[in-house]
Structure 1
């Protein structure tokens, strides 16, 4: 009998993937907030929440919100 070498991901792999999906939205939201604060944007918190929440809910929606923020900033 041959053991499965590349089976389904187990504990450590799922933990790392889960942590990445939790850390990436916070990092993007923090970066957007600090960048908007440096540029004196009055909607800095709104942009940060939009990018962070959309990245958490749908990754590509968050990337789209980030692109819209980058396009909108002066």
Structure 2
């Protein structure tokens, strides 16, 4: 191998590593919202910590009731 081809191989491998690390960083940044949102919900509902599951089940039920029964009757 000549020096030129060795340098080209090194440059291409370095650029591949940089591209790969940038791609990994993009994926890590995209998936960061989920734990932040989860912790934010836990902070906001810390007052009803013991009844958190019941609270969200009741809220979800009320929203479904509104969406499929009450809102169509308003027209």
- Shorter-normalised TM range: 0.3 to 0.5
**TM-score, structure 2 length as denominator?**
0.38
Instruction: Using structure 1 for the length normalisation, give the TM-score.
Output: 0.38
Pair member with larger Rg: 2
Greater helix share, 1 or 2?
2
Higher relative contact order (CA 8 A, sep 6+): 1
